[in-house]
Amino acid sequence: MMLSPDQAADSDHPSSAHSDPESLGGADAKVLGSVSDLEPVEEVDGKGSSRAALYPHPPQLSREEKRRRRRATAKYRSAHATRERIRVEAFNLAFAELRKLLPTLPPDKKLSKIEILRLAICYISYLNHVLDV
Could you tell me the residue range of the domain that residue 103 belongs to? Answer: 63-132
Q: Is residue 52 part of a domain?
A: no
Would 96 be classed as within a structural domain?
yes
| 110 belongs to a structural domain | yes
Kindly write down the DSSP assignment for every residue of 62-91, as one continuous string.
PHHHHHHHHHTSHHHHHHHHHHHHHHHHHH
Confirm whether 128 is domain-assigned: yes
Answer whether 0.85 is exceeded by the pTM.
no
The sign of the CA dihedral 26, 27, 29, 35 is positive
Q: Is residue 101 part of a domain?
A: yes
Instruction: Establish if 75 belongs to a structural domain.
Output: yes
Q: Does residue 54 sit within a domain?
A: no
CATH number of the domain residue 124 falls in: 4.10.280.10
Angle at 11 between CA 5 and CA 14, to 5 degrees: 95
Q: In this structure, is residue 44 part of a structural domain?
A: no
What tens digit of pLDDT does each residue of 11-69 get? 454 444 444 444 444 444 444 554 445 555 555 555 555 555 566 666 788 999 988 88
Domain count of the chain?
1
